[in-house]
Amino acid sequence: MRTEIWSSLRALLSEAAESGAARGAAEELERIAQSSDDELLSLLVMLREFVSPNPAVDEMLERTFSALGQRIASPAAGSRTIDDRLVGELLFLETRLFPQRRSRAMLLRALAESNSETALQALADRLVLQPLPDQASAVTAMAPLFRRENLDWTALFPRLLDTLEFAATAVITLDFTNFLVREHLAIQHPATERSRDLIQLLGALTQRLHGLEERPPQTAEEARRVGQQVNESVGLIISVIDAVALIGDPDAVGKLRQAIELRHRRIRTEAAAALIRLGDAQIGREHLAELAKFPIARLRAIAYADELEVLDAIDDQYRDESARAEAELVCWLADSAQFGFPPRQCELVDQRTQYWPGYEEPVQCFLFRFEYTLDEGVYSNIGLVGPATFAFSADLADLPIDDIYSAFAGWLADHEEIFEIRAEQFTEPLRAECAR
């Protein structure tokens, strides 16, 4: 078997093993896209020599498996089927890779890119026999399944459902089964036979979260640990609620009524929508109407009410443009990239329709004053909704309204003739203009 065509990549892997540093291998990895199955097989055989705990080598392997996955997914690969010999060699490598290494998740991703029945069955089997270490790895490995056209998803089941036993893969597996039903790729929910188990899991998760709500943490360390437990449980319970609703099992109603009494608004919203789907419309309608009062939950509550044809349950004042705009800003502020939680107060300051850079027609614009209570004291500022949802870190609260709009317009404007220039590069006329 010819392995000399991979001599450059072999040299880079050897260098990484010796020096502990991974160098770029763009040219070598580009070769993979044009390689035949026989050449790829020789590559995988060569990689046997470099399975090690060395982080630099693992980084190189991760890049290599990523390139292999792209080759399988490329139009040149036709139906995305791969030679069973390649599947066998990938499995040989996978069983020898260290379970915690990122390269293993990327190797499994390459299998997920294939439409080969053998590859998909192997993927499901390995996810069960050697569970992935965390949710990030699970997303890496399984993400291609959500993007695939003509996916032979039946090759994954029922084996893939066994991954529900593991925290790292349970959420994405359920999300995938729910995706198949929502996209009308599966007539019956793949987890229908596990409905009883899912209902029991829903009850257990509800009890766990209720217990955490009733026992507030006493120390910073305990707060961190409890926060992690809550985050893990919330993601899973949302996926479980969605699954039992799509399965359509009326036996889930009792557990859903318990879940809807939790304090977490996202869980309450999902449970309300699920109850409506399962025929318990009155309780579901009442809770969606109540949740729409809270900006952080409003948009999702309205979306579900619209989808389930119960929009009349929500008061008009929470469905108008300004109420939706308020909800958009609050959700933006609550994102982990911003404050991570909603403001304690948000009120409309100005609303107008006006021309805006980048738009040919006038745009509806909203300004809101929001307020947070932080350890350092009270923080208040102005946020924009309309052409964009945004807030500065600098305080704009004392500026005139027109100046606030100008600040947002100038900062957000994007045009090929707009550019930045350093102050020391100003010409004399520019300096004079700035001084003026």
pLDDT in tens, 350-390: 999 999 988 889 999 999 999 999 988 999 999 999 999 99
∠ CA 361-366-371, rounded to 5°: 160
How far apart (Å, rounded) are the C-alpha atoms in residues 203 and 258? 8
Q: Is the pLDDT of residue 234 over 60?
A: yes
Among 43-57, 111-125, 271-285, 363-377, the range scoring the smallest mean pLDDT is 43-57
Q: Structure tokens of 28?
A: 């070598």
Q: Extract the tokens encoding 231.
A: 């985050």
The pLDDT of 424-435, averaged and rounded, is: 74
User: Residue 310: is its pLDDT beyond 70?
Assistant: yes
Cα-trace Rg, the chain: 27
**Cα-flanking dihedrals φ and ψ of residue 348, to 5°?**
-70, 130
Distance CA 171, CA 213 (A): 22
Instruction: Write out 264-294 in H/E/C secondary structure.
Output: CHHHHHHHHHHHHHCCCHHHHHHHHHHHCCC
Q: Which of these, 127, 41, 33, lies nearest to 73 by C-alpha position?
A: 33
Three-state DSSP class for 364?
Answer: strand
Q: pLDDT confidence of 413, banded at 50, 70, 90?
A: confident
Flag whether pLDDT at 1 surpasses 50: no
Q: Residue 17 has what pLDDT?
A: 80
Nearest to 14 by CA among 55, 65, 53, 50: 50
Q: Which tens digits make up the pLDDT trace of 174-219?
A: 999 999 999 999 999 999 999 999 999 999 999 999 998 888 777 8
- Average the pLDDT over 69-75 and give the result: 85
Give the pLDDT mean for 397-419.
83
Q: Name 309's bridge partners.
A: none
Position of tokens 């998760």? 205
Residues 6 or more apart whose Cβ sits within 8 Å of residue 344: 371, 372, 373
Residue 97 has pLDDT above 90, yes or no: no
pLDDT of residue 320: 96
Cα separation, 242 vs 277, in Å, equals: 10
Return the H-helix or E-strand segment holding 146.
helix 144-147
What are the helix and strand counts (H, E) for the chain? 19, 4
Single pTM value for the model: 0.86
Measuring CA to CA, which residue among 199, 189, 192, 138 is closest to residue 163?
138
Are 17 and 49 spatial neighbours (Cβ–Cβ below 8 Å)?
no
The pLDDT assigned to 381 comes to 96
151-165 confidence digits (pLDDT tens): 899 999 999 999 999
For 338-370, letters b (16+ CB in 10 Å) and e give ebeebbeebeeeeeeeeebeeeeeebebbbbbb
Q: Are 322 and 366 in contact (CB under 8 A)?
A: yes
Which two three-digit tokens encode residue 212? 């955490």
CA distance to 2, 103, 117, 330, 369, per residue, from 324 (Å): 62, 43, 46, 10, 15
| Percent of the chain clearing pLDDT 90 (strictly above) | 67
pLDDT at 251 over 80: yes
Please, which pLDDT band fits residue 13 given cuts at 50, 70 and 90? Answer: confident
| Nearest by Cα to 292 from 268, 263, 262 | 268
| CA distance linking residue 355 with residue 174, whole number of Å | 45
pLDDT score recorded for residue 422? 74
Q: What is the pLDDT of residue 83?
A: 83
Mean pLDDT of the chain: 90
pLDDT digits (tens, 9 = 90+) for 102-147: 999 999 999 999 988 999 999 999 999 999 999 999 999 999 999 8
Residue 128 to residue 160: CA distance in whole angstroms: 7
